[in-house]
Amino acid sequence: MKRRSHIMTLCKVILFVCLTVTTTSIANSFVDGVVATVGREPILHSDVMQEMIPMLQAINAEALTPEEQELRFKELFEEALEQVIEYYILYSEAVNFEIEIPYEDVEKQITEARSQYESTDAFQKALEESGHTISDFRERLRRQMMAVSVSRSKRMQFRNEVVVSKSDIAQFYQDHLDDFHYPARYRVRRIFVQADSDPVERKNAIRELEKLRVSLLTGEDFANAAKIYSNGPEAEEGGMLGWVLAGDLVEPLNSALEAMIVDEISVVLETEYGLHLLKLEGRETEGASSLEEVRNQIEPLLREQHGEKHYRQWMNSLRRRNNVRVLI
């Protein structure tokens, strides 16, 4: 079974509060007890069930037989247990590092959790029905934020320490050539103009863009025009969208590109987002990106992979140091 490497996240704590009311009966159908220890800290069955609540909702949504549900529940319980163990270990490290979470940061997360409900009273009722107080929730959230802080810090440290050589990148490229194949693609510049849905205003905007198109056809530089007139995020780059795969753009932009020849400028194209002029600067049939084209994509990927490997090794050493024992 593939393990998720992340610890319990802040959004899942919030989700725990939101979903507990509908799944408490599931959790209460089990006898509570110690299922693992981290040093002298016991992990209870109920601790794992709280982590599992979002997962249980997924099980309920799946069309599984009772036998399949039982097997799926066991798998998810083991996964959730590992996440809780990691949470306990990281919280212990946070205490050792004397990490403090500002009060206002915790309150901000509580406010976001409360916003999921119609009123503060509804939020308080959800807490009460789950057997928790706002103090319980605040402390749980504070500890989790401490653990998350350690996790993020160490992951960043390990990523930054990784040295990725040119040969590493070249080897990855050779090992994953299929991943760098692409279908037909187009190198495109665009001038995008926002246009109001009002028919009269849109008609006026189309008329102005058609005038600009005439200027472009008679020699005005497309890139300079994009910097001046385009509302698109790529305007500062002269309207350069770069290489676009067939089918990546909305209609009628896709169809227009398929019919254009290199250096052609499209007619004014309308979408719900606004008006577009496209310039096709290059066309390639199916092929593969070169190593130089994807080098900047591969390097951070390798850094992430090696950094995660070192992080897992670090976590395993902490697990041994904390004398983790699983009792089920």
Q: What is the CA radius of gyration of the chain?
A: 28
Res. 137: pLDDT tops 60: yes
For residue 212, give the CATH number of its domain: 3.10.50.40
Sign of CA dihedral 260, 266, 269, 274: positive
Residues 193 and 321 in one domain: no
Within-domain flag for 176: no
Angle at 60 between CA 63 and CA 58, to 5 degrees: 100
| Extended beta strands in the chain, E state | 34-38, 41-44, 181-182, 185-193, 240-245, 269-271, 274-284, 287-288, 325-326
Integer Cα distance of 154 and 94 in angstroms: 11
Integer Cα distance of 140 and 181 in angstroms: 47
For residue 53, give the CATH number of its domain: 1.10.4030.10
* Minimum mean pLDDT range among 70-79, 152-161, 277-286, 309-318: 70-79
pLDDT of residue 126: 83
Residues 121 and 154 in one domain: yes
Within-domain flag for 174: no
Q: What is the pTM of this model?
A: 0.62
Res. 323: pLDDT tops 90: yes
Give, rounded to a whole angstrom, the gap between the first and last alpha carbons of the chain: 18
Within-domain flag for 293: no
Res. 12: pLDDT tops 90: no
pLDDT of residue 58: 66
Q: If you count DSSP H runs as helices and E runs as strands, how many of each does the chain have, helices first?
A: 11, 9
Provide the domain count of the chain: 2
* Residue 191 contacts residue 227 (beta carbons within 8 Å): no
Residues 117 and 200 in one domain: no
On average, the pLDDT of the chain sits at 87
Res. 145: pLDDT tops 50: yes
Q: In terms of residue numbers, what domain contains 42?
A: 10-163+307-326
pLDDT tens, 25-65? 444 445 679 999 999 999 998 888 878 876 776 676 677 78
DSSP alpha helix (H) spans, 162-221: 166-175, 199-217
pLDDT above 70: percentage of residues in the chain: 89
Residues 69 and 123 in one domain: yes
* Residue 127 contacts residue 110 (beta carbons within 8 Å): no
* Minimum mean pLDDT range among 27-41, 92-106, 186-200: 27-41
Average pLDDT over residues 151-160: 96
Residues 65 and 20 in one domain: yes
